[in-house]
Structure 1
Amino acid sequence: MKTIRTKPHRLPRDRYQGLISAAFTLRLEEPVPFFTTQEIVDVFVEHLRQATSECHVNTIYCFMPEHVHTIAVGTGESSDALRSIEVFKQNTGWWLKTNSPTVSWQKSFWDRIMRSTYELASKARYLVNNPVRRGLVKDWRQYPFTGGIGVILEEFLSDLSPF
């Protein structure tokens, strides 16, 4: 019988540590519109705030109805972008199980480490314009579930504008 080898879909843990930037997309198991009220999104933003603080990263985020985009930016050598998402998913997974048992996260998530300021700028523009592409708003500033933790979103984007 032929052995099928699978390659890991994540880079080694140390690649997510330190002064790096990484984009993550987390999806709900069933694509139901869940992140649709300020009350729900505020709960998840607070969990994201706790996770990013614990892991020493600044984050920009966009909560779409059935998925979440984040970009974590390391603030020092002790930063751990991957761990921040793992902590966030664990804590919010428990919250979902307790408060909304029919909703859960997909087991895994998509990630990408950005290797240049140009790539970071491109991903950040993609993140904030997701609601515009979806037809939810005409300008990303109108979407209430996009923001920053540890950064002022408009300043963050402005600093990246030459790229």
Structure 2
Amino acid sequence: MQKTYHAGRLRNGRYSQPGQIYLITVVTHQRQCFFQNWQMGRLLVHQMRDAQRQGLAKSLAWVVMPDHLHWLVELEHSTLEDLVLAVKSHTARNVNKSLGRSGRFWQRGFHDRAIRYQEDLETVARYVIANPIRAGLVRRVHDYPLWDAIWV
């Protein structure tokens, strides 16, 4: 039986609001583990930091997993679509070049969830950065090289 993937579909009614905090998840094409190589993961981190320098969004917490990214951001001078497109396209170009490959790098689309202001952001951030522990990649988050949070 063939699996059906829905991650490539854009959510109906997606709304981008400056000042809103979002939890964004993007997944590599066919869940390939490009970021198992931490140096490739650093190329993605560079693009997220570049987006922040450009004033597109403020990174609150993130973790780069071997085949996906979880990113807690406060949207600034961008739409969700433009922010994610910029980071995904630059990362794909740079990682593909570094690996000497071509072709699709990311799954289409992305998942986002607007965070309500009454939610505890630090709890959401802890959940994000604890992903490597839950995945069994490390025992302590400090042993994992590809994460950050403004509270640390």
Note whether the superposition's TM-score is higher than 0.5: yes
Deviation larger for 101-110 or 22-31 = 101-110
Q: Structure 2 CA distance, aligned partners of 1:91 and 1:65?
A: 18
Residue 73 of structure 2 is aligned to residue 72 of structure 1: yes
RCO comparison, higher one (Cα < 8 Å, 6+):
2
Unaligned runs of 5+ in 2: 1-8
**Separation in 2, partners of 1:121, 1:70:** 13
Contact between 1:22 and 1:112, CA under 8 Å: does it hold in 2? Answer: yes
Q: Which runs of 4+ in 1 moved over 6 A?
A: none
Q: 1: CA distance between counterparts of 2:66 and 2:140?
A: 17
Deviations 1:79-116 (A, max 9, x none): 33613222101212333444432561001111101012
Segment drifting more, 133-142 vs 98-107: 98-107
Larger CA Rg, structure 1 vs 2: 1
| Matched-pair contact (CA < 8 Å) for 1:28–1:66 | yes
Work out the percentage of aligned pairs sharing the same amino acid.
24
1:9 to 8, 11, 36: 11
C-alpha displacement of 1:130: 0.4
Q: In structure 2, how many angstroms separate the alpha carbons of the residues matched to 1:62 and 1:95?
A: 19
Structure 1 pair 134/81, CA: closer, same or farther in 2 (3 Å)?
Answer: farther
Which residue in the other structure is 1:134 paired with?
135
Normalised by the length of structure 2, the TM-score is: 0.78
- The CA distance in 1 between the partners of 2:45 and 2:142, in whole Å, is 17
SS of 1:16 mapped into structure 2: coil
Which residue of the partner structure matches residue 27 of structure 1?
27
Could you say which residue in structure 2 is the equivalent of 1:89?
A: 88
Partner of 1:3: none
The answer (yes or no) to whether the contact 2:10–2:109 under 8 Å persists in 1 is no
Matched, 1:42 2:42: yes
Q: Compare 42-51 and 105-114 and name the one that shifted more.
A: 42-51
Shift of 1:145: 0.5
Pairing 1:57–2:57 present: yes
1:16-40 CA distance string (max 9 Å, x none): 2321100111101122221123321
35-44 vs 78-87, greater mean Cα deviation? 78-87
Summarize deviations over 1:104-132 as a string: whole Å, max 9, x none.
10011111010124253342122111001
8 Å contact kept, 2:122–2:151:
no
User: 1:35 aligns to what SS in structure 2?
Assistant: helix
| In 1, Cα distance between equivalents of 2:104 and 2:34 | 8
Q: SS at 2:36's partner residue?
A: coil
Question: Aligned residue pairs: how many?
Answer: 140
Q: Secondary structure of the residue that 2:49 maps to in structure 1?
A: helix
Q: Which residue of 2 aligns with 1:160?
A: none
Which one-letter code corresponds to 2:142 in the other structure?
A: R
